């Protein structure tokens, strides 16, 4: 489950855009806080910490010809000045985050109680720094620009083994990033490879570009990061930092993307208007000829047309699994209304209930089944009574020889019958089977084999449930003759379905 810290989190990266001026830094925070208040997201204001005294090599201090040295030294702030900005960010409602670039700075991030620790792309495999960060009790976000896949694997495993709460950011380390280099396909790639790890997008493209944030959200990014700056007469900002006006347009694009995306990881809900509009387009069932009380409603005795009436049976309802029976006469041409029917019987729900029960038996007996199998639910007195009378039959092969797997639920009985053409043998694989042949009943257990010859009347049942193989000569469809004429008269005593048997391992079907 995703840490709520990482859910729809927008990080505003100040970096060195405070310009080494605390008053300007506070002005930046206030200006962007005004923008953020317009949007229903969670925001973090992020700083960068470097211990300048140890971060820059002594021989390079004061050099103006080394860009990063000059930049970092010219924007240097004391810890007291940083704390003033941090308090202002908290006062404006921001979470606070910080990127340390050395171990001393990592300790400061912890001691100053920031909410989130960030690892910059350049530090992604800085193992001494990672060891220090991993020891801190705070969530970590890591940018992956320039990191080889094996390095991401290594760092992810490193943090997982330490049970760290962390997120990965797809990031491109070009400043600014050309739109054709944004590589949004990396977001779902990282999500799939590091399942359960939140993935975000740290952006460096032109601040006027808003399509990228929409794409990132559509791809599944839960964290979005953007550099910010406040241009004044005194201070200019770089080409990849957003002004307040640009950030507002960027956030508006993100908000629109979330609205377009809707819910994820579950089926959406439907408005009453949508359902009503769809119903108006659906065909209703009308009687072809007079339907008598007790008649089943089937495609053969109805026709489908529009418009339909409220409470009418629809073509969409006419599944073979829904048993509809008339309790009153329905005249030819009249709508088939639910008020004129007996209470519908949902055969699908019953099938699922039975299959869940046989799942337990098959797994308990460790019975290997084909990857894909043809199941036959035999229910002599109706599906609603299958747990009393019937069996589940898996048809494996039927040539000159035939093989089936039969599953008996606890307490289930299979009525007396015989075969004129087929000779069969039962091999008990699991459980106990009570088999009656020509009036003689005998108990059989796993491992036993029993032969039933042509013409022998037989029935079987199981007290605790059983799984057994039937190996026989060719099976013929009309070669089962039952003692009870009611069974022969029942033309709907079979329900057939084909399933991939991975449902036995818990997958829905």
DSSP string, 401-468: EEEEEEEE-TT-EEEEEE-SS--EEEEEEEEEEEEEETTEEEEEETT-EEEE-TT--EEEE-SS-EEE
Strands (E), 124-253: 140-143, 166-171, 199-203, 223-227
Note whether residue 116 is domain-resident: yes
* pLDDT of 30: 98
Same domain as 243, residue 109:
yes
Q: What Cα–Cα distance (Å) separates residue 296 from each residue in 98, 460, 493?
A: 71, 31, 14
CATH of the domain at 482: 2.60.120.10
CB atoms within 10 A of CB 448: 15
Q: Measured between alpha carbons, how far is residue 404 from residues 26, 104, 435, 454 in Å?
A: 78, 72, 17, 17
Write down which residue in 343, 368, 397 finishes a domain.
343
Closest CA to 227 of 425, 28, 464: 28
Residue 226 forms part of a structural domain: yes
Question: Do 316 and 382 have their domain in common?
Answer: no
CATH number at residue 203: 3.20.20.70
Q: If we measure between CA atoms, which residue out of 237, 247, 250 comes closest to residue 15?
A: 237
Task: Judge whether 143 lies within some domain.
Answer: yes
Which residue ranges in the chain fall short of pLDDT 70? 1-3, 504-509
Last residue of a domain, one of 261, 284, 301: 261
CATH code of the domain containing 292: 3.90.1210.10
**Together in a domain, 189 and 215:** yes
Which structural domain range is residue 293 located in? 272-343
Q: How many domains does the chain divide into? A: 3
With a CB cutoff of 8 Å and minimum separation 6, the contacts of 178 are 205
Domain boundary among 230, 261, 292: 261
Within-domain flag for 78: yes
Domain-embedded: residue 5: no
- 322 lies in the same domain as 389: no
- Residues 185 and 53 placed together within one structural domain of the fold: yes
Question: Cβ-count burial of 185 within 10 angstroms (0-12 exposed, 13-18 middle, 19+ buried)?
Answer: exposed
> Could you tell me if residue 6 is inside a domain?
no
Q: Please tell me whether residues 337 and 369 are part of one structural domain.
A: no
Q: Which residues of 349-362 are buried (b: 16+ CB within 10 A; e: fewer)?
A: ebbeebbebbbebb
**Whether residue 307 has a cis bond before it, omega within 30° of 0:** yes
Rounded CA gap, 90 and 36, in Å?
A: 13
Dist. CA 343–CA 346, nearest whole Å:
10
Number of H helices, E strands in the chain: 13, 23
Are both 289 and 245 inside the same structural domain? Answer: no
What is the pLDDT, as a whole number, of residue 508? 53
CA–CA distance, 183 with 110 (Å, rounded to integer): 33
Please report whether residue 208 resides in a domain. Answer: yes
On whether both 359 and 339 belong to a single domain, the answer is no
Same-domain status, 336 and 355? no
Whether residues 217 and 278 fall in one domain: no
- Distance, in Å, from the CA atom of 390 to the CA atom of 413, rounded to the nearest integer, reads 6
Are 330 and 468 members of one domain? no
| pLDDT number for residue 474 | 97
Both 280 and 195 in one domain: the answer is no
Give the pTM.
0.66
Look at the alpha carbons of 472, 473, 477, 480 in this order and tell me if their dihedral is positive or negative. Answer: negative
Q: For position 1, what pLDDT does the model report?
A: 46
267 in a domain, yes or no? no
């Amino acid at each position: 489950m995703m840490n709520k810290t990482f859910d729809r989190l927008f990080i505003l990266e100040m970096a060195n855009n405070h310009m080494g001026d605390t008053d300007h830094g506070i002005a930046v925070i206030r200006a962007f806080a005004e923008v953020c208040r317009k949007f229903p997201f969670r925001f973090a204001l992020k700083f960068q910490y470097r211990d300048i005294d140890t971060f820059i090599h002594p021989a390079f201090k004061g050099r103006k010809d080394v860009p990063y040295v000059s930049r970092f030294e010219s924007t240097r702030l004391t810890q007291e000045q940083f704390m003033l900005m941090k308090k202002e960010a908290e006062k404006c409602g921001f979470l606070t985050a910080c990127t340390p670039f050395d171990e001393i700075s990592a300790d400061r991030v912890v001691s100053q109680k920031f909410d989130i620790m960030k690892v910059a792309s350049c530090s992604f495999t800085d193992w001494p720094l990672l060891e220090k960060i991993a020891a801190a009790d705070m969530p970590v976000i890591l940018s992956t620009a320039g990191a080889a896949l094996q390095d991401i694997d290594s760092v992810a495993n490193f943090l997982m083994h330490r049970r760290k709460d962390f997120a990965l950011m797809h990031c491109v380390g070009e400043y600014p990033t050309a739109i054709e280099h944004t590589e949004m396909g990396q977001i779902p790639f990282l999500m799939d490879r590091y399942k359960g790890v939140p993935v975000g997008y740290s952006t460096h493209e032109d601040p006027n570009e808003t399509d990228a944030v929409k794409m990132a959200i559509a791809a599944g990014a839960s964290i979005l990061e953007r550099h910010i700056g406040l241009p004044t007469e005194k201070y200019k900002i770089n080409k990849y930092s957003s002004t307040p006006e640009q950030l507002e347009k960027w956030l508006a694009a993100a908000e629109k993307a979330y609205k377009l995306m809707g819910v994820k990881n579950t089926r959406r809900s439907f408005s009453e208007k949508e359902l009503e509009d769809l119903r108006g387009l659906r065909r209703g069932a009308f009687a072809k000829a007079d339907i008598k009380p007790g008649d089943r409603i089937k495609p053969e005795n109805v026709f489908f047309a529009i418009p339909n009436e409220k409470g009418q049976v629809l073509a969409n309802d006419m599944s073979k699994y829904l048993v509809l029976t008339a309790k009153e006469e329905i005249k030819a041409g009249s709508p088939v209304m639910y008020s004129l029917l007996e209470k519908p019987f949902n055969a699908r729900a019953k099938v699922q209930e039975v299959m869940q029960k046989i799942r337990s038996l098959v797994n308990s007996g460790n019975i290997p089944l084909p990857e894909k199998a043809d199941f036959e639910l035999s229910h002599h007195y109706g599906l609603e009574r299958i747990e009393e009378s019937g069996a589940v039959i898996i048809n494996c092969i039927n040539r000159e020889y035939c093989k089936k797997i039969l599953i008996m639920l606890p307490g289930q009985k299979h009525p007396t019958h015989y075969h004129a053409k087929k000779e069969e043998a039962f091999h008990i694989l699991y459980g106990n089977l009570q088999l009656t042949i020509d009036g003689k009943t005998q108990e059989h257990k796993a491992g036993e084999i029993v032969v039933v010859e042509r013409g022998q009347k037989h029935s079987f049942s199981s007290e605790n449930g059983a799984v057994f193989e039937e190996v026989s000569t060719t099976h013929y469809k009309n070669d089962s003759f039952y003692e009870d004429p009611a069974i022969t008269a029942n033309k709907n005593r079979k329900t057939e379905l084909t399933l991939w048997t991975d449902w036995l391992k818990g997958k829905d079907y």
